[in-house]
Amino acid sequence: MIELKNVTRRFGDAVAVDNINLTIETGEVCVLVGSSGCGKSTTLRMINRLLPRSSGEILVDGEDIATMNPQQLRLNMGYVIQGTGLFPHWTVAHNIAMVPRLLKWPKERIDARVEELMTLLDLDPATHAGKYPQQLSGGQAQRVGVARALAADPNILLMDEPFGALDAITRENLQLEMLRIQQQVRKTTVFVTHDIDEALKLATRIAVMDQGRILQHDTPESILRRPASGFVENLVGKQDRGLKLMSLRPVRDLMTRHGSPKPSETGTEGVREDDNLRLALSIMLWQDLPQVAVFNAQGQETGVISRERIIQEGT
Amino acid sequence: MRVWLPSILLALVLCGLSAAMPVLEPLFHWVEPDRQRLIYDRESFLFLLQNHLTLVVISAAIGSLVAVAGGIFATRPSGRDFLPLVSQVASIGQTFPPVAVLALAVPVLGFGEAPILVALVLYGLLPILRNTLAGLEGIDPAVREAARGMGMSPMQVLVRVELPLAGRVILAGIRTSVTINIATAAIGSTIGARTLGDPVIAGLVNGNTAYVLQGAILIGLLALTTDSLFEALERTWDRRFSPQPAMT
């Protein structure tokens, strides 16, 4: 758990972060979102003490970070940044092994961990372990960045616009990857972005920041339904809120279940239980279907979802 | 191994010629047809070469240590304020002619090796210092940020990340500095240091072009050998630390 209490950061006379209070529960993904200069990166960098705070308290698991050794603190916090910051003179494997090496793990354990992480992030160890960062694509490099941050299994993950410099398709892939990994490892994550869609997709809770203050700290659904101010309302987009709300809910919520799962007939068009309502609706509109089959992870047909129901109850 | 071959060959030619200068006697006879004494023999060339080299190596070692330490200091958070001062001092050092340094150092240090050593150190500082600063400042800030943010101590950031990344540029600075100093060391002969400048000075004083040529050939060969040695060193460094993006 990370708690920020009345935290302020000044640069000269300018106030970058203005007396904020924020509690991030263990295992939750808190996304700080706002335009550039709103203080979100400054807030993140105060949590691992890359920046000192001007006043206030930051507690990690109840302990004031000002009393801790900054190196020890950071070794227990994965850190991913926009430009990846991979070490150009080290191979991919060496980059990922950075923190375990600092912690003086035995070699066999490091090797096993590097291989495990590369597999987790969908990088083939055989082809990529020996490469240098310059030889990777942007998406691969950022995967290595995430693997490096997870290497020593830290409790906390700090991510500063990690996917900001990537093209839309690569970014989307990495976001899905993040959700998948987060389901497996459940790290307390603080994620900074200026992209509200990214925030809605990844966050369990969103903190909207502007001019150094937190305007609203709530779940994605509440942010969409009850924006606290005009600024937040504009940020989430007044017009397409309906569709954004649909993309937060899984098909599972509104499907009509069969009595028992049926084996799927080959070639049947359908959606998965984990897919969101927006996708299901889009498929039905495009193919002009009144309803569509729903499959579970094993590929069995477990029910159907209808267009009517999504439109009536989806938001 | 192949990268070292040119330097080894040049070194062999240099040593061979220092030991057996008389083999070039026909050349010198052609230059100075009327002279009896064609080969400089007041001191053996091997001794002069050794002395010359010692002066350059010592001054390069001291110069590199001081310049790299200064460059590191000026790029630390605590030394940032000195950055403009440090680069200015280094630039002024370069505008000072080495002969002037000798003239100022002789009254204090007397004749011999000491004043030329001082001049060489001062003179060799700038290229190394300048390149140390450029190398350290040229590192992608994201790399330093990541190193620090993931828990490296300032010392670990310096030794494991910054110096390996800046090393190639620093090495190039040392190369320039050493090459300049091989030529500059010869001036030491004017104040009693024993260097390969001795035959040159003697030749100039006696109007014997053969002597001048013998000194100049050896100094030139020494500079070439050293330069190709650094060339090989830089290539080895590249292979170790900065692989080519294209290789797959």
Residue A216's pLDDT is 93
Question: pLDDT grade, residue B246 (50/70/90)?
Answer: very low
- The answer to whether residue B162 scores a pLDDT higher than 90 is yes
Chain A residue with CA closest to B247: the answer is A135
What is the topology classification, in CATH, of domain B2-18+26-31+44-241? MetI-like fold (1.10.3720)
Minimal Cα–Cα distance from B168 to chain A, Å? 12
- The answer to whether residue B232 scores a pLDDT higher than 80 is yes
Burial class of A223 by CB neighbour count within 10 A (0 to 12, 13 to 18, 19+) = buried
| Residue pair A227/A233 in contact by the 8 Å Cβ criterion | yes
Residue A266's pLDDT is 66
Interchain contact, B156 vs A102, CB within 8 Å: yes
Residue A303's pLDDT is 87
Residue B248's pLDDT is 39
Rounded CA-CA distance A157/A137 in Å is 23
**pLDDT tens track for B10-33:** 999 998 888 888 888 888 888 888
Rounded CA-CA distance B146/A50 in Å is 10
Interchain contact, B150 vs A81, CB within 8 Å: no
Helix (H/G/I), strand (E/B), else coil: B210: helix
- The answer to whether residue B245 scores a pLDDT higher than 70 is no
Question: Is the complex ipTM higher than 0.85?
Answer: no
Q: Look at residues B217, B221, B197, B224 and name the one whose alpha carbon lies nearest to residue B27.
A: B217
Task: Tell me the residue ranges of DSSP E strands in B60-198.
Answer: none
Chain B residue with CA closest to A145: the answer is B146
Residue A267's pLDDT is 66
Residue B242's pLDDT is 64
| Residue pair A2/A73 in contact by the 8 Å Cβ criterion | no
Sequence-distant (6+) residues with CB within 8 A of A118 are A92, A93, A96, A124, A125, A128, A129, A147
Q: What is the 3-state secondary structure (H, E, C) of A40-104?
A: HHHHHHHHCCCCCCCEEEEEECCEEHHHCCHHHHHHCEEEEECCCCCCCCCCHHHHHCHHHHHCC
**Residues B93-115, mean pLDDT to the nearest whole number:** 81
Interchain contact, A72 vs B151, CB within 8 Å: yes
Residue B247's pLDDT is 42
The torsion angles phi and psi of A91, rounded to 5 degrees, stand at: -70, 170
Mean pLDDT across chain B, nearest whole number? Answer: 87
Which residue among B143, B153, B243 places its CB closest to the CB of A132?
B243
Residue B83's pLDDT is 85
Q: Identify the residue with better confidence: B168 or B34.
A: B168
- Mean pLDDT of residues grouped by 10 in chain A (315 residues)? 92 90 93 91 93 92 91 92 89 94 94 93 90 90 93 93 88 89 90 92 93 92 89 84 85 84 73 86 87 84 86 79
Interchain contact, B149 vs A81, CB within 8 Å: yes
